Structure 1
Amino acid sequence: MYSRQINRTVISALEEQAAVVLLGPRQVGKTTLALEIADARPSVYLDLEREADRQVLIEPDLYLDEQAGKLVILDEVQQMPGLFASLRGQIDMRRRKGFRTGQFLLLGSASNVLLHQSAESLAGRVRYVEMPPLQLDEVGRDRLNELWLRGGFPDSFQAASNRASLSWREDFLRTYLERDIPALGPRIPATTLRRFWTMLAHAQGGLLNAAALAEGLGVSGQTIGRYLDLLVDLMLVRRLAPWHENVGKRLVKSPKIYVRDSGLVHALLGLGSLESLLGHPVVGGSWEGFCIETIIAAAPAGTEPFFYRTSAGAELDLVLRLPGDEIWAIEIKRTTAPKVSRGFHLAVEDIRADRKLLVYAGDRDIPVANDLRAMPLDMVVAQLRKG
C-alpha cells in the first residue's frame, strides 16, 4: 500500500463541504481510499453496481434519514442518477440538525455524466476531486522507469513482473471495451473503439487530426469526435487545449491528444518491457505524456494546463496557469543534455512566463539560461507540491 497524496485532499474537502465527488477511472484506487477514510469515522458504504445495495436505496430518504451523522459513501453513483435530488434534500435536512460537513462521499468513473447530474442538484453543496493513478512522489524516484512503463494503476504497477503487469492492462482494456463502455449506453463495436484507442496511442502527444483518424477508421469526423468525447469523459484520454490568449501571433488551434496513463499507451502498442519501449517510435511522445500527467496531478487545485505553438515555430510542451495567474512554461526532453530550442525562448516571451523549466533526464537542478532551470521530474513535482 502506498500513501496517497489525494487522501489529504479528500479529507480536507470533507471537513469543508457537505458532499465530495471523487472522480477517477476504474481501478485507480477510489474505493480503497474511501474505505480508509471510512475506517476513521462512523460510515456506511454502498456499491451501486450491486443489486442488493441499489435495493437499499429504492426509498432513499427512508434509509438515509437513519444515517444522519455518518459519512455515507456511494460508489459508482452514476448508476443511480435519480439519487441526486434526494441527496440535496438530505444535505439540507442534516444542516438543520447541525451536521454541516462531511456527509456524503460520492465515487464515480465517468466525469461529465456525474458532473451534470450533481451540478444541478448539489450546487453550493459539493466539491469535486479527481484521483490520479499512482504518482512519482508516492512510489519514489528510484521506481520512475517502472512507473513510466507500467503506468500508475495500482494493480498494474504492483504486479509481480512486467509480463503480469501487461496482462493486467490488457484485461483492463478488454473490460472497458466489452463491459464498462456498453454499460454507459454507447453502442460502439469494441473492435472499432480498440482500433481508435490504439491510433491515439500511436500518435501520443500529436495534434488532433480528426480527418486522418476518420479516414483510418472509415467513419465520419463527427463520429471521431463522439469517440474522443467518450474516452475523455472516462478520464482515459486528455485533450490538452492550446494556449488561447491573444498574443498577436498565429496560434495552433487544434488540441493535443494524450492517452493519460503511460501503461495503457504501452499495452495498446504491445510494449511489455523497457527495452521494447526505448526502441519504439512512440518513446518520445510516451515520455512527454507521462511527465505532463505527473506535473498536472501535482499542480495546485484550480491550475489550468495548456500547450503553446505558433505557425512561426514558437512552442512549449506545457503551460500551467496556476491560481493567482502565475504562468509556468515547461519543456520536456528525455535527454541528459539540458538544452532548449530557439522556439522555447520565443514562446516564453510571447506568454510572459513567470517560471521557465526544462524537465530532463538528469538528476540535478541546474541553471541553463535567462532564468531557465533544468530539473528532473521529481524536483518539478516537489516545487508544485510546495505551491
Structure 2
Amino acid sequence: MARKLIDGLSKPAIYYDLELVEDFETLSQNATWVLENSIDKTIVIDEVQRYLPLFPQLRALIDRKREAGRFILLGSASPDFLQKSSESLAGRIAYHELSPILKSEAESAFIPQPTHWHRGGFPDALLAPDSGYWYQWQQNFIKTYVEQDLSAMGISTTIPLLNNFLRMISHLHGSLLNYSTLSNSLGMANATVKRYVEILEQAYLIRRLEPWFVNVSKRIVKSPKIYIRDSGNLHFLSNIRHYEDLITHPIAGASWEGYVIEQVIPLLDPAIRPYFYRTSNGAEMDLVLVDGITPVVSIEIKLSLAPALKRGSTESVADLKTKNNYVVTPNGGNVAVRPQWVHCNIHELIGHLRTLKLIAE
C-alpha cells in the first residue's frame, strides 16, 4: 500500500525496508547523511521498530524542514516503538491504524458477507482459493505471531502456554474479561495476565470494549468485554474450518457480535467513542456510541433473523436515552420494529451512522 501511495506522489520518494540487511546497514550507519541528502523527497521506512535509535535523528531532520508527510513510518505497534516514537517525535508524528479489510471494502470486490465473516479481513486469508489454504495461512500467521512478534513485544513465556492463552481468550470472546479466571486456568500470576492482555491489545489482536457508566446510582458492570478483533483469527483458534461449521457452532452468536463491532468502530469519527452497557438488573446493550458524554446510538446485535427486542434492550435505551437505536442482523431490511428502533444489516447500519455524521469522511 505504501508503494502504491508513493507511486502517486508529485515528488520523488525513497523506500527503505529495515528487514533487508542492506537497507538496515544504510540507515543504522549513515542515517543522518543519507536522509539529509534526500530532504526534498518523501522517505518511507518499513519495519521501523527494528531500529529505534533512528527516532532522535528523525526529530532533528523534521525540525530542519517542517513539512507534513515527509516521512512515512511503517511497523508493528510494539511498546518500545510507541514509547520511543512518542518521546522523540512528540508534536511531530501522527498515528494511523490500518485495520484488516472491512466488509464495506470487501463488498466492492464482490466478496460475500459469509466469506468475509468466516475468513476475516487479512488479505491473503480472505482471498484464499479454498478453506484448506485459509486454514494453513491462519496457522502460519498465529505461529509467526506467537513465536516471533509477541515475544519481541514483551511476552516471555513458553510457546505452548502462549498458544493456550490465545485459545482461552477465544473461548471468552464477547464475554466479560475476568483476569482471575484466566490466571487460575493458566497458572499465571494475575499481574502477568493483565500485562499480556495489554500487549495483545497493543498488537491489535484483541479489543477490550469498556462499559459505559450512565448512572452512578445503578449497579453497573465494571469489567470490559474482550474480543478477538479479526473473525478469521477467532475461527481458526476455535477450529472452525468452514462457514457451514460456523453457523452451527456455539460461538456463532458471539462471533457475529464481534464481527459487527469490528465493522463499525474503525469507521467512526475520532470524537465518537464505543462502549457496551450492562447493569446488574439485566439491562444490556452490545454497542453504545457516545459523543463526548452523551450516548447517541444504541446497537443490539443478533444473529437470529428475528429482530425481537428483549426487556434488557428496552431498559438500556430508557437509561441511555438514545433516540437512534438499531437491531443488526445478517439480512436486515431497514424496517422499523417499534418507535426509535430500526432493524437493519451492517451495510444499512453504516448508512444510518453516516447520515448521523458519526462516520469519519
Length-normalised TM-score, structure 1: 0.86
Go from structure 1 to structure 2 and tell me whether the alpha carbon gap of 1:127 and 1:322 turns closer, same or farther (over 3 Å shift). farther
Could you tell me which of 88, 91, 99 is aligned with 1:124?
Answer: 91
| In 2: Cα distance, 1:101 partner to 1:63 partner | 20
Deviation of residue 156 (structure 1)?
0.1
SS at match of 1:250: coil
Deviation of residue 111 (structure 1)?
5.3
- 1:82 and 2:49 matched: no
| In 2: Cα distance, 1:296 partner to 1:196 partner | 25
- 1:285 and 2:254 matched: yes
1:34-183 counterparts in 2 under 5 A?
34-41=2-9, 42-58=12-28, 59-95=30-66, 100-110=67-77, 112-140=79-107, 143-183=112-152
Deviation of residue 310 (structure 1)?
0.5
| In 1: Cα distance, 2:297 partner to 2:76 partner | 30
SS at match of 2:204: coil
Go from structure 1 to structure 2 and tell me whether the alpha carbon gap of 1:380 and 1:312 turns closer, same or farther (over 3 Å shift). same
| In 2: Cα distance, 1:343 partner to 1:48 partner | 52
Percent identity over the alignment is: 38
Go from structure 1 to structure 2 and tell me whether the alpha carbon gap of 1:116 and 1:183 turns closer, same or farther (over 3 Å shift). closer
SS at match of 1:213: helix
| In 2: Cα distance, 1:254 partner to 1:269 partner | 24
SS at match of 2:325: strand
Deviation of residue 40 (structure 1)?
1.2
Does the 8 Å CA contact 1:356/1:373 hold for their aligned counterparts?
yes
Go from structure 1 to structure 2 and tell me whether the alpha carbon gap of 1:342 and 1:173 turns closer, same or farther (over 3 Å shift). same
SS at match of 1:120: helix
Identify which range, 49-58 or 200-209, moves more after superposition.
Answer: 49-58
| In 2: Cα distance, 1:324 partner to 1:71 partner | 40
- Give, as a single letter, the amino acid of the residue that structure 2 aligns with 1:47: D
Does the 8 Å CA contact 2:77/2:203 hold for their aligned counterparts?
yes
Does the 8 Å CA contact 2:326/2:343 hold for their aligned counterparts?
yes
Does the 8 Å CA contact 1:152/1:261 hold for their aligned counterparts?
yes
Does the 8 Å CA contact 1:320/1:327 hold for their aligned counterparts?
yes
Does the 8 Å CA contact 2:79/2:153 hold for their aligned counterparts?
no
SS at match of 1:374: strand
| In 2: Cα distance, 1:164 partner to 1:142 partner | 17
Does the 8 Å CA contact 2:167/2:238 hold for their aligned counterparts?
yes
Aligned position for 2:288 = 319
Deviation of residue 171 (structure 1)?
0.7
| In 2: Cα distance, 1:288 partner to 1:320 partner | 15
Cα shift readout 1:325-365 (whole Å, capped 9, x = no counterpart): 56211110012211221111211222222421111122411
Deviation of residue 73 (structure 1)?
1.1
- 1:219 and 2:188 matched: yes
SS at match of 2:164: helix
Deviation of residue 384 (structure 1)?
3.4
Q: Unmatched 5+ residue regions in structure 1? A: 1-32
Deviation of residue 188 (structure 1)?
1.6
Go from structure 1 to structure 2 and tell me whether the alpha carbon gap of 1:170 and 1:181 turns closer, same or farther (over 3 Å shift). same
Length-normalised TM-score, structure 2: 0.92
Q: Which has the higher contact order (CA 8 A, sep 6+)?
A: 1
| In 2: Cα distance, 1:325 partner to 1:130 partner | 26
Deviation of residue 262 (structure 1)?
0.5
For these two proteins, the number of residue pairs brought into alignment is: 351
- 1:233 and 2:197 matched: no
Does the 8 Å CA contact 2:295/2:320 hold for their aligned counterparts?
no
